[in-house]
Structure 1
Amino acid sequence: MAHILTAVSGSQTDVVPITRALISVSDKSGIVDLCTYLHSRNVELLSTGGTARALRDAGLPCIDVSDYTGSPECLDGRVKTLHPKVHGGLLGVRGNARHERDMAENGIGLIDMTILNLYPFGATVKSGASFDQCIENVDIGGPSMLRSTAKNHAYTTIVTNPDQYDEVRACMEKNDGGTTLSLRKKYAARAFALSAAYDSTIATWFGKQLGDDGPSSSSVVTRVYRPEFPLKYGCNPHQSPAGISSLLNSELPFKVLNGTPGYINLLDAANAWLLVKELREATGLAAASSFKHVSPAGAAVAVPLTEVECAAYEISVEDASRLTPSALAYLRARNADPMCSFGDYAAVSDVVDEATASILKREVSDGIVAPGYTPEALAILTSKKGGKFIVLEARSDYVPEPVEYREVYGMTFSQRRNDVVITREHMTRNVVTKGGATALTDDAIRDMIVASICVKYTQSNSVGFAKDGMMVGVGAGQQSRVDCVKLAGRKVSTWYLRQHPKVLALQFKKGVKRQDRVNARVRYIEGDFTDEERVRWEAQFEAVPEPLTGAEKDEFMKRATGITISSDAFFPFRDSIDHASKVGVSYVAQPGGSVQDPEVTSCCDDYGMVMSFTDVRLFHH
């Protein structure tokens, strides 16, 4: 018997009583409890298949949809809810005279609520099911009922997830068995999003099945995102709102264990993690990186420290001998450019242990990403920065899609991920200078790999210098390649001069903070003080240091040797090599491909450098 239509045609009433509900769910968690409540409010329950059985097994009265419509399920269950008595009951406009007449003539009663889940198509695909099995899990009736109910949300309530059940019940309790318009609107919006996401999943999967006959450039690319959590703001405070979303049916690559990551934090984490993950795979050594503003300030693999390095990095030889591989890698990465690493985002390739966490504890840093943490390490890190230190756990089994997308100013860019794997083969297959491949030591090859993977994740144009498994100078984002070399080369000089006896002998007053000591040493090496700056700088020492003269620096830099430079693109002129020769470069890795390659090769020969053409450009923007 049809329900009486009481609302005025075309209007939207606030509270609509729930008298009949249609239930068809694949996820049955919580459904018996909700339907028990609905039954207690005298709501008539319509259902299908397994859901009807579950309700009856719980002792709830339930009318099969086939009995309600007078039409049996057919075609192996493909057709069971596609019927005028179902969709007419969902779409009928209360108070509309014509609708009321049509419904009365066809024996259509109102259905006030639909509770459904869609067939688990995405899960079926992930299970490795066959093409035919996946097709059978394309839901037809569910999305149809969802859309009918959501369209008529002025009068009908669509419930699509168990996480809504408590709110539905609370709303009905507060409104004498009815739902409010605000709730129905909210649930309708979520339902349409679910419908779009579901169709997107199917369309994306189907397109992949076509192989070479897949979607052409004229096809629609469907991508649906699920909001995960909001961010305080984007790159700048005025860029709000901001948030992080995941691609539908895919988890985020990181799990937040502590703190609240920001927009730039997560960009740093993504690039830093990929860098150390690739270093680990390429070298077999524990790796670490120190990121600032989406470029590495430093990166390194676990190579033992020399006594002089221990002194320069403020660690005793005894303590250095006890460092774990992860701790050693991060200590090196942080000391590539400790001034730029101030407030960094760290990444470690291996499970973080107590030794690594203890090094991070003393440094000014925003956060870390790693594949895991020992309980002792996690306790140290979560207490850092008053409990605000960001700790991310990388999902080691996460596999990104081969094609990545980026939206800029109304344009959507797409490209294959830069998934080239840098290996020893890249460094040894095309050695073009006089020394040939025989002049490449294992240490040199390792440093070529470290530097090349580093520039792969550095904003272009970029070059990087490496020595003893660590970056010792990174030049990022310059329009001229020789300017990259000069910028990074200046960092190499500073790194090397930090080992000068006069720098190591600086006597700081007690109480001068660690980062202030780092900065003071760099300024001592640079030496270009203003009068006002010099007063404050000298106040940090027990006695005013004698200047480090230009002649002393030049003489010390003559000892620098065995350093590797890697470039993300070819060197267009020999000027970059000329400048690299000033900071002890012995090995060069670059893609090649310039008309100037012969001149650059000749230049390397002039300085006795060994150069490898990798044939792989590594721009990163």
Structure 2
Amino acid sequence: MNLRYGMNPHQRPAALTAIDPDRSPFRFVHGEPSYINVLDAAAGWELVRALGRPAAASFKHVSPAGAAVAGPIDAVQANTYGLDPAATGPLTRAYVRARDADPKSSYGDFVAVSEPVDAELADLLRRVVSDGIVAPGYAPGVVATLSAKKGGRFLVVEADPGFVPPPVETREVYGLRLTQPRDEAPLTVTDPALPDAAVEDLRLGLVIARHTQSNSVAYVRGGMALGVGAGQQSRVDCTRLAGAKVDTWWLRRHPALSGLAEGGRVQEVVARQIRATAALSAVERADWLRGLDGVAFVSDGALPFADNVDEAARHGVRHIAEPGDSVRAAEVAARAAAHGITLTRTGVRLFRH
């Protein structure tokens, strides 16, 4: 099929071809995809389907700004998105939790969800700025609701849950053809000393890292990302940038901001919250940030220096998972122990480029 354009509007014509002409992983229900839309749909769908429960991801530029499994939504999320926590279904809660990790970056996102889209989620999506969605199905009437977004240009993609991708991936770059096996290494956390909640958060972080442009890190708590760092040349810079997102997420919950999550469009509410966090005094910020705890941290590559551990500890991290085997692995482990952080070595690098 013809694409709207390639990575940029001047890259035309652009086209999409299924490797197997008899079966495609996606059906484009409404809208005309661009090259990046297809990449976001593929990465987003792979991420959410790997979690084995109602899950959602908010993608921007081929990396998740946030991802989450279904779970409780707090008062800030409920008021920001105009929802009743007691009456909101699991798929909508998963998406709210995913988008709320970094709602500023999620403006104009590509949505991925693991379950068929119902009317409740469609109504929420009608009220936020996003470019498209991939899901394994749509309830009656939902496609019509979504198709009206963006003046009729909102992209609706249906994924085939039974599709099995080829075991070998191929990419052509500058007259060269690269081939490799698909990255299907099991993502497990087996430390028996870890509480179940930490194991689940670390596994979610590993799935996020697998589908995020490297270098990447993810801070996770309670089944949702609080901050995702992507595409940085320096790992500690990535850790700091993602940590700043974690701080913003937590500061939006400061008691002094309790009335700011009500009234106005979602993005206006978020902007109001973020501006208000900057108005907190240094003492107020520091006191509140010290209250964040129980965060899990995942790195797609080995932590090369202990400064990554120091930075992670500033954002409430209590559990770290990383591949291990860096030159300074012993120093990294010692620093984690000094901070009271459990360190799990997975032995699996998860670079994505």
* TM beyond 0.5: yes
Residues 496-529 of structure 1: per-residue CA shift (max 9 Å, x gap):
1110112223388x7x43212212322332x3xx
> Quick one: distance in 1 between partners of 2:180 and 2:167?
8
- In structure 2, the residue matched to 1:485 is 239
Q: Equivalences for 1:57-72 in 2 at 5 Å? A: none
Shift, 1:598, TM fit: 1.3
- Aligned mates of 1:335, 1:476 — CA distance in 2: 17
Corresponding position: 1:427 with 2:189:
yes
Deviation readout 1:574-596 (Å, 9 max, x if unpaired) = 00000111110011111111121
CA offset digits 1:295-346 (Å, max 9, x no partner): 00010000112345534x4445xx1111211111111111110000000000
Give 2:220's aligned residue: 466
2:43 to 242, 249, 271: 271
Paired position in structure 2 for 1:304: 72
Aligned equivalents of 1:577, 1:355: Cα separation in 2: 41
Matches of residues 218-617 of structure 1 in structure 2 within 5 Å? 229-280=1-52, 285-307=53-75, 309-311=77-79, 313-316=80-83, 319-422=84-187, 426-428=188-190, 431=191, 437-438=192-193, 440-506=194-260, 512-525=264-277, 527=278, 547-617=279-349
| Kept in 1: contact 2:56–2:113 (CA 8 A) | yes
Contact kept in structure 2, 1:309 and 1:499, CA below 8 Å: no
Quote the residue 1:163 is aligned against: none
Amino acid at match of 1:444: A
Shift, 1:471, TM fit: 0.6
SS at match of 1:479: coil
8 Å CA contact 1:278–1:421 kept in 2: the answer is no
Is the CA contact 2:205–2:219 (under 8 Å) kept in the aligned structure 1? yes
Cα separation, 1, equivalents of 2:323 and 2:290: 28
SS at match of 2:156: strand
Give the aligned residue type for 2:36: I
SS at match of 2:51: helix
Q: Is the 8 A contact 2:261 2:270 kept in 1?
A: no
* Gaps in structure 2 of 5+ consecutive residues: none
- Give the AA of the match of 1:486: R
Q: Deviations over 1:454-501 (max 9, x none)?
A: 010000010000011111101101111101100100000001111011
1: distance between equivalents of 2:69 and 2:173? 35
TM-score of the aligned structures, taking structure 1 as reference length: 0.55
After superposition, the Cα gap between the structure-2 partners of 1:518 and 1:307, relative to the gap in structure 1 and judged at 3 Å, is: closer
CA offsets, 1:141-169, max 9 Å, x none? xxxxxxxxxxxxxxxxxxxxxxxxxxxxx
The answer to whether the 8 A contact 1:475-1:487 is kept is: yes
Is the 2:6–2:12 contact (alpha carbons within 8 Å) kept by the matching residues of 1? yes
What's the CA shift for 1:411?
0.7
Consecutive unaligned residues of structure 1, counting only runs of 5 or more, are 1-228, 432-436, 528-546
Secondary structure at the counterpart of residue 246 of structure 1: coil
CA distance in 2, matches of 1:368, 1:392: 6
**CA separation of 1:371 and 1:314: change in aligned 2, threshold 3 A:** closer
SS in 2 for 1:375: coil
| Aligned counterparts of 1:334 and 1:507: Cα–Cα separation in 2 | 15
Relative contact order, higher structure (CA 8 A, sep 6+): 2
- Aligned-pair CA distance for 1:597: 1.5
% of aligned pairs identical?
Answer: 46
Given that residues 77 and 96 in structure 2 are in contact (C-alpha distance below 8 angstroms), is that contact kept between their aligned partners in structure 1?
no
Counterpart-to-counterpart distance in 2, 1:404 and 1:454: 20
What letter corresponds to residue 261 of structure 1 in structure 2? Answer: P
Distance 1:390 1:308, change over 3 A: closer
Query: Partner letter of residue 294 of structure 1?
Result: V
Counterpart code for 1:557: L
How many Å apart are 1:607 and its aligned residue? 0.9
**Cα separation, 2, equivalents of 1:403 and 1:297:** 28
Judging changes above 3 Å, is the alpha-carbon distance between structure 1 residues 507 and 350 closer, same or farther for their aligned structure 2 residues?
closer
* Separation in structure 2 between the aligned mates of residue 358 and residue 320 of structure 1, nearest angstrom: 15
Over the aligned positions, Cα root-mean-square deviation in angstroms equals: 1.6
CA deviation string 1:432-468 (max 9, x = no partner): xxxxx32x21111111111110010000010000011
Does the aligned pair in 2 maintain the 1:500–1:556 contact within 8 Å? Answer: yes
Q: CA deviation at 1:420?
A: 1.9
C-alpha contact 2:127 2:265 (8 A) present in aligned 1: no
Give the SS at the match of 2:10. Answer: coil
Question: Once the two structures are superposed, what CA deviation does each residue of 1:345-400 show, in whole Å capped at 9, x if it has no partner?
Answer: 00100111111111111110011000001103223212222322111000111111
